[in-house]
Chains A and B, each alone.
Chain A
Amino acid sequence: MALISTWFFVFLIASLIIYYILPIKIRYVALCLSSAVYMYFAGGILGTIVLASFVILGILFAKIMQSQFFSGEARSGLKRLVYIISMLLPVAALLLFKYINPFGIEAPMGIAFYLMTFMGFMTDAYQGAIREKISPVGAGLIIGFFPMMTSGPIVRYGENATNIKEGHKFCYINILHGIQRILWGTFKKLIISERCAVIVNTVYAAPDTFSSAFLVFAIFAFVLQLYTDFSGCMDIVVGAAEMFGIKLPENFDTPFFSRNVSEFWRRWHITLGAWLKDYVMYPVLHSELFRKFKKACKNKIGKKHGEKPALYLSMFISWTIIGYWHGGSLKYIFGVGWWFLAIIVLGELLSPFFGWIKRVLKIRTNNTSYHIFESLRTLMFVGVGLSFFRAASFSVGIDYWKCIFTNAQNQKGMLFSNDIYSLGLDLQDILVLIVAFIILLLVSIIQYKNAKKGTSVRGWLDQQNLVFRWTVYIILIFAVVIFGKYGQGYNAADFIYQGF
């Protein structure tokens, strides 16, 4: 049951009806049942068993670690052992299903996402970060609430459990906003992402037959494809949850307006970045070993720069894990991990030099044009990294870049000529893509500007007159239905991040 399928929407409506029919105190029952049914139909028996096992284990381990029995110093070793086991199990499951896979079984749906939530939950329980008594229902739902199952977001018990498990009153605005988000998500996925996918697949299938201009164009098409795919998926997930009155954390915050790569990663897949920072980077940085390392570095190279090696090393570990999490292969470790680490570290090391250039050339940095320049520069770095993400392997990614530097004058060369049709889209599809991209850009600008003021696009839309609002909704609905790439003769691909 894919997130964009008629069955999912029928299932969602049925779940909502059951949820709001039940008395408010036991509405969580509808969520638990829906989640179990969804997992069974979308993830099969194995997926259901694995998820159910981790839900039960999560509740059990968290309860044990929170119990009075382990509260004293005397039993801290035992508590630590429980924690280590609770962390080893998901790591083992990930290795077993995703990276080693000795039985050739397809990894259970969404395993990489809910196990991150699971591990975060275990760590919070171990560290005593969860003050309130752990609720089995809350614990079960932060791991297995059905909209989050396929692609996250990765949530934390403390911030989300109560909100998910408590019954929410029926609220027209929640339903309306949820539908808006789902509609916007399907617009991004079916109109933009699926069209970009045609271009990207065509070029990546035979990069040696395209000119450098097309190859570079395809990289940016992939960036757009990935963004609209993943953020579209998140819109559907967040929108579906919102219809139950549940507020899930956002995973995207207009990432392409970022001024540098660090900022980009704070705005792109936010919950994964936050998870790694909270559960990997900072704990590593504050570990005994790293403290000693920091101290040794300070003694050797001085106070000013002494902290940097430990920081970079902890970042290296985090970025490697980010890459590894996407998939065991080098293309992810380099393309989503090390490349960005290199840009961040280099940017920091060279910042005095860049500062000097700005001073000498008297470049004004506090204006829109410089912001645009920085955003485009960030986009370029992101594009380079993600070009490896899309390639079949790291070596294929290298070959792709070789083609970029050697195919300057190739067969299919001119972007603004009939050669454009060799990318797999006809004129009508290209026009639809351009118009949809402009709409996305305009909405993103409004989103970015409103975020600064603390408002949202939906808030802005809510303030408009009924005729305008309805016109927008109707255009969106029929744009998706008519121009969406799905159904007859074309099956919309699954979400890219659903594969992780």
Chain B
Amino acid sequence: MKNTVKTIVKSVSFLLIVAIIWCAITLWVRPTDQMTIYEEPDNTVDMLMVGSSAWYTFWAPMASYEACGYTSFNYAQGGMPADLMKYCIIETLKHQKPSLVCIDARTFVYRAENTVYITEDGKEYLKDNYVRTVSDTMPLSLNRMKMILDISPKLEDPLSNFADLLFYHDEWKQAMNKGTVVKGRDYTKGFDIHTKTTAYDKPDDMSGITAELELPESAEAALRDLLDYCSKQEFKTIFVALPVASEDDEMKMQYNYMSRICSEYGIPMIDSNDYSDEIGLNYETDFDDETHANYNGTTKFTAWFSLYVMKNYPLADRRGQEGYEFWDEDLSKWNGLLDAVFPDRVAGNTNENGGGN
């Protein structure tokens, strides 16, 4: 008996040591080029934007902070599967207490087209790269484990998602040479500046369409799961359909369908495509591509949505508040970035070449 206990203690200790080293090496070889909300000081983000790349091109948290004093952060990854959003919020709530969570509605409409694929035998899987950009930048936590466990039937290789060292192990050569990449607070707060301009025709006004079109079953399941979670939380939630350069009937009808489901849970949804004139969007100058804004579009949308929030969800103005000094530091870095990208910019003005306020 004594020997058995000794063996068990030894085995557990050994596994613990292996697990600790495993985690340390995982963090060493993981991608470091994506800074995250987890680097932000605790309880300093009042508004959380969760979703796909649309958020990080349309919403500039620093611009909103400069104008209104809102502290927000884009927890956005290219092609973020709708199925993961709940876990991103849960993980964020461990360190932040946002009053408002803004969810990218497009993620659900685009889910079937962009973030999943169907195998020859008809099985639906989430695209691995989109899952990884979320799971591999999330702290090694039980929530992360639960996320992967919950979506594992939708993953072709769930094991390497659990143990991402198995996936990134070959990065050791790069990891050894990456001394120049510094992890730390992201002064853009999850924003990605786009300067290219692609001209589009102004799409037809879809605001009159009231018909609905069902979402694919798996997308609706993900939506309901998220709504169910959000409706039970302290923070307020809003679903936002971010502008696209070519909204069509089908998309509008799916947004209508989503909007009705959201209302079942008492959560509002806004289709910003219906407010393109109010936003002041110029489809010839404000888009990088069909689904992403350039900085012209960013400034317009950010200004409009900041006002929308001001009217509907009054948030605190954190400018000059104690404990938020680092936002001012980040703001000067942000302005430095804008000066570098748009040398001719004049505060408050936009130009016709993709950006510069």
Chain A positions near chain B (C-beta within 8 angstroms): 6-7, 10, 172, 426, 428, 466, 470, 473-474, 477-478, 481-490
Contact = CB atoms under 8 A, between A and B. Distances in A.
Contact of B160 (A10, A483, A484, A487): A487
Contacts of A490: 170
A481 B169 contact: yes
A6 B21 contact: no
Contact of B169 (A172, A426, A466, A482): A482
A424 B165 CA distance: 24
20 contacts: A6-B160, A172-B7, A466-B10, A473-B14, A474-B21, A477-B18, A478-B21, A481-B165, A481-B166, A482-B29, A482-B169, A482-B172, A483-B169, A483-B172, A485-B170, A486-B166, A486-B169, A487-B166, A487-B167, A488-B167
B257 interface: no
A466 B172 CA distance: 29
A21 B221 CA distance: 39
A395 to B, nearest CB: 37
B211 interface: no
Interface residues of B, number: 20
A6 B166 contact: yes
A10 to B, nearest CB: 8
A6 B159 contact: yes
B168 interface: yes
Interface of B: 7, 10, 14, 17-18, 21-22, 25, 29, 159-160, 165-170, 172-173, 176
Contacts of B159: 6-7, 10
Given A6-B160, A474-B21, A482-B25, A428 B166 contact: no
Nearest to A485: B170
A490 B172 CA distance: 14
- Top 8 closest pairs, chain A to chain B, by CB: A6-B159, A428-B173, A172-B7, A482-B169, A482-B172, A488-B167, A487-B166, A488-B170
B265 to A, nearest CB: 38
B103 to A, nearest CB: 31
Contact of A474 (B7, B17, B29, B166): B17
B149 to A, nearest CB: 14
B23 to A, nearest CB: 12
A488 B173 CA distance: 14
Given A482-B172, A488-B167, 12 more contacts: A6-B166, A7-B159, A428-B176, A466-B10, A474-B17, A477-B18, A478-B21, A481-B169, A482-B29, A482-B165, A483-B169, A484-B169
Nearest to B171: A488
A470 to B, nearest CB: 6
A489 B170 contact: yes
Nearest to A172: B7
Contacts of B169: 481-484, 486-488
